[in-house]
Amino acid sequence: MKRLFAVVLVAFLIVATVLITAAPALAAPYETGIWTGRGTVGSSVNVTFSFRSHHSLGYEDSMKVAWGHYRFQLTQLTYVEVVDDPTISPEPPAVNDTMHGIGVGECNGVAGCQVEFIFTDAGQGGQSDWAWIKITDLSADTVLETSGFLAKGNIRAG
């Protein structure tokens, strides 16, 4: 009986070691993935945007937003989270289809503006992709807030 217990214990430890060792390798594509996108959103004001973002902090991320005579350029992403929204079923499938981020940047060359955004990837082609973008100035006044399905463009989850 002691021998059987020892064999079972050793087998368990081997399996646990393999799973613990393999876990970072299995998760790596999602932790190092890159989200990209560009498009047009908004009904009353035509807003174009482009972005490239890792879904973790500490990378060189980029985002540009243009509307009317305004231009925003991201200088630093300060918060980012990606999740799977169960109501979105993209084709091809994506582990995480929704990105929420906050960052700081320049608005028409003036530093200290803030951007908050949510992007969803609902599949190839971008017809059902959705964006929400809010930009505030140094005084925390909203200079842009827009949302909706993309009129043109595509968001790709990484």
Instruction: From first to last of the 158 residues of the chain, give the pLDDT tens digit.
Output: 545 444 433 344 443 333 333 333 333 333 347 888 999 998 778 899 989 887 667 777 899 999 999 999 999 999 999 888 888 877 766 778 899 999 999 999 999 999 999 999 887 777 789 999 999 999 999 999 999 999 899 888 87
d(CA 28, CA 85): 20
Q: Please state the pTM of the whole predicted model.
A: 0.75
Q: What angle do CA 101, 103, 107 make, to 5 degrees?
A: 130
CA nearest neighbour of 133 among 46, 34, 75? 46
pLDDT at 53: 86
Q: Whole-angstrom Cα distance, residue 38 to residue 53?
A: 12
The pLDDT, as a whole number, for residue 7 is 40
Q: What's residue 3's pLDDT?
A: 52
